[in-house]
């Protein structure tokens, strides 16, 4: 069979968040682009990750609202979920967003889209079943997929990952979740709210890199709703039973459930790419890249999860921006993909968001760390909504340089962006105090936390004397 051959500016392997953003940008700049995708357009985020999980979380939020109105004078009721219709809601959300990531749209932009598995033939050529593509530059954007921990018996027991959980035949009656990271916590709470029993099991404590007080607020909220945690604990064996599945824990405890969800980390997708033929180095994190996302092959770049610098959809989008900038706008002064300003959010209720360095990490690096905190218990909007869990913590050096922040509470994922904007523009703590927040809003908590940095100085004895002196002239 004679294969179709293409000779182009840019070849992209993977049509997820990073690959699609690069393809759209390059095509609209008049570059010739070939885009390979063997799976679904939109990648993991659209089809199995961010979007379906947030749709499920939204369904759980509405169910939960039925039982939480007493404080507002609303008689509580027990919600009853129709899981078939919940799945239809999730599918509808994906269907609504899908056209933006569709093959038709990208072909309309001028890309050649090939729905086949691609692999390297040599250092600048990619091939598939019916095509070969020679390109000036090649982008690897194959993402990541769920990984299964080496627990005895797991491989022989039916289990779900994020690729199956949203389309499972019936709602899990009792869901056992392996992993207490963001995916496990988000889906665990959502399923409890829809009426499932949920146990979360992990060999390590939940979220060890986050602010400990904020993690406690989150876990306390999930426990109050019915999520049961077994962490840290060692798992001896996982097995199938006549009625479902079972997990044998160290110490003799046995957990029995209807389904197991594995949410214990992800691994980069590099299998089948034949990277050796192109001289591309890899390690446990994925494809090895420098700060400009270039691999050991000077013509090949990697973005998103597969680059070892991803793990977040918005990181892949950021990488795409760096690629377009370096390829077509500043070719002689390369922008770096390294940043300490990448926010991360866990979309539970309350949400937990962070950016930059945690207090613990900051104290390891610097000796002049100061933190300030403002609780939502002192925020008028939170009080009015009777949703006062959590608060804002800012981490900075004593000169006011912001190193990081953690926010736990309703809307934390939106509020962290205020701090992110300050950090990317090199604003110090005093810059946040100049923010004029509409009243009443939760955003005031960020400003109040920043303002508390100066409380002692503003209301010191020296300041009081100065105020007294100035009062004589007015």
For residues 468 and 146, the model is more confident at: 146
The pLDDT, as a whole number, for residue 174 is 98
CB neighbour burial string for 52-76, b if at least 16 within 10 angstroms, e if fewer: bbebbbbbbeebbeeeeeeeeeeee
pLDDT digits (tens, 9 = 90+) for 211-231: 999 999 999 999 999 999 999
Residue 421 has pLDDT above 90, yes or no: yes
Q: Record the pTM.
A: 0.95
Q: Report the percentage of the chain scoring pLDDT > 70.
A: 98
pLDDT digits (tens, 9 = 90+) for 6-40: 999 999 999 999 999 999 999 999 999 999 999 99
The pLDDT, as a whole number, for residue 471 is 77
Residue 377 has pLDDT above 80, yes or no: yes
The pLDDT, as a whole number, for residue 467 is 65
Q: Domains in the chain and their CATH numbers?
A: 4-41+102-146+267-328 (3.50.50.60), 154-264 (3.50.50.60), 344-458 (3.30.390.30)
Mean residue pLDDT of the chain comes to 95
Mean pLDDT in residue range 191-207: 97
Note every long-range contact of 377-382, with CB atoms under 8 Å and residues 24 or more positions apart, other chains counting. Answer: 378/445, 378/448, 379/440, 379/442, 379/444, 379/445, 379/448, 380/439, 380/440, 380/444, 381/440, 381/441, 381/442, 381/444, 382/409, 382/410, 382/442, 382/445
The pLDDT, as a whole number, for residue 1 is 73
Q: How confident is the model at residue 466 (pLDDT cuts 50, 70, 90)?
A: low
| Phi, psi for residue 341 in degrees, rounded to 5 | -115, 30
The pLDDT, as a whole number, for residue 460 is 67
Residue 463 has pLDDT above 70, yes or no: no
What does the alpha-carbon distance between residue 310 and residue 293 come to, in Å, rounded to a whole number? 11
- Per the CB < 8 A criterion, the answer to whether 138 and 323 are in contact is no
The pLDDT, as a whole number, for residue 464 is 67
Q: Which of 79, 74, 48 is nearest to 61 (CA)?
A: 79
| Distance, C-alpha 375 to centroid of its chain | 24
The pLDDT, as a whole number, for residue 416 is 98
Mean pLDDT in residue range 127-138: 98
Please give the C-alpha separations between residue 318 and each of 35, 84, 303, 406, 459, in angstroms, as whole numbers.
19, 36, 9, 21, 43
pLDDT digits (tens, 9 = 90+) for 52-110: 999 999 999 999 999 999 999 999 998 999 999 999 999 999 999 999 999 999 999 99
Provide DSSP, 315-332.
Answer: HHHHHHHHHHHHHHT-TT
- Per the CB < 8 A criterion, the answer to whether 345 and 353 are in contact is yes
The pLDDT, as a whole number, for residue 458 is 65
Copy the structure tokens of residue 353. Answer: 């968001």
> In 207-258, at which residue ranges do the beta strands (DSSP E only) sit?
228-230, 235-240, 245-249, 254-257
Strand partners, 355: 405
Mean pLDDT in residue range 242-262: 97
Mean pLDDT in residue range 348-368: 97
| Phi, psi for residue 236 in degrees, rounded to 5 | -85, -40
The pLDDT, as a whole number, for residue 177 is 98
Mean pLDDT in residue range 166-177: 97
Residues 6 or more apart whose Cβ sits within 8 Å of residue 46: 16, 40, 94, 97, 98, 101
């Amino acid at each position: 069979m004679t294969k179709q051959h293409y000779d182009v500016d840019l070849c992209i392997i993977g049509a997820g968040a990073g690959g699609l953003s690069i393809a759209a940008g390059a095509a609209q700049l008049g570059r010739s682009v070939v885009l390979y995708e063997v799976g679904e357009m939109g990648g993991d985020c659209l089809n199995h990750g961010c979007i379906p999980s947030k749709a499920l979380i939204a369904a759980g939020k509405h169910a939960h609202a039925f039982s939480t109105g007493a404080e507002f004078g609303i008689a509580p009721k027990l919600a009853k979920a129709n899981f078939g219709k919940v799945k239809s809601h999730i599918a509808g959300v994906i269907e609504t967003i899908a056209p933006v990531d569709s093959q038709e749209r990208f072909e309309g932009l001028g890309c050649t889209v090939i729905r086949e598995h691609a692999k390297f033939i040599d250092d600048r050529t990619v091939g598939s079943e019916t095509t070969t593509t020679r390109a000036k530059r090649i982008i690897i954007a194959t993402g990541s997929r769920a990984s299964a921990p080496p627990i005895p018996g797991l491989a022989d027991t039916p289990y779900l990952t994020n690729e199956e959980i949203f389309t499972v035949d019936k709602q899990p009656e009792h869901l056992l979740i392996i992993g207490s990271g963001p995916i496990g916590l988000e889906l665990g709470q959502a399923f409890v709210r829809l009426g499932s029993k949920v146990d979360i099991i992990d060999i390590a404590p939940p979220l060890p890199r986050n602010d400990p007080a904020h993690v406690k607020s989150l876990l306390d909220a999930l426990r109050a709703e019915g999520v049961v945690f077994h962490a840290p604990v060692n798992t001896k064996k996982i097995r199938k039973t006549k009625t479902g599945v079972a997990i044998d824990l160290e110490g003799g405890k046995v957990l029995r459930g209807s389904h197991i969800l594995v949410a214990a980390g992800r691994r980069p997708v590099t299998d089948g790419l034949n990277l050796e033929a192109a001289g591309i180095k890899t390690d446990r994190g994925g494809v090895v890249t420098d700060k400009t996302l270039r691999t050991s092959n000077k013509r090949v770049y990697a973005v998103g999860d597969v680059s070892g610098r991803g793990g977040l959809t918005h990181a892949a989008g950021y990488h795409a921006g760096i690629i377009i900038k370096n390829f077509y706008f500043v070719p002689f002064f390369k922008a770096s993909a390294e940043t300490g300003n990448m926010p991360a959010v866990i979309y539970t209720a309350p949400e937990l968001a962070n950016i930059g360095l945690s207090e613990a990490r900051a104290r390891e690096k610097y000796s002049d760390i100061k933190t300030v905190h403002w609780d939502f218990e002192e925020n008028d909007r939170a009080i009015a909504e009777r949703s006062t869990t959590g608060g804002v913590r800012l981490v900075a050096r004593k000169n006011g340089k912001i190193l990081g922040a953690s926010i736990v509470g309703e809307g934390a994922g939106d509020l962290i962006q205020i701090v992110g904007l300050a950090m990317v523009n090199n604003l110090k703590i005093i810059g946040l105090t100049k923010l004029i927040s509409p009243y009443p809003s939760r955003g005031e908590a960020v400003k109040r936390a920043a303002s508390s940095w100066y409380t002692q100085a503003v209301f010191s004895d020296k300041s009081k004397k100065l105020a007294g002196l100035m009062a004589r002239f007015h």
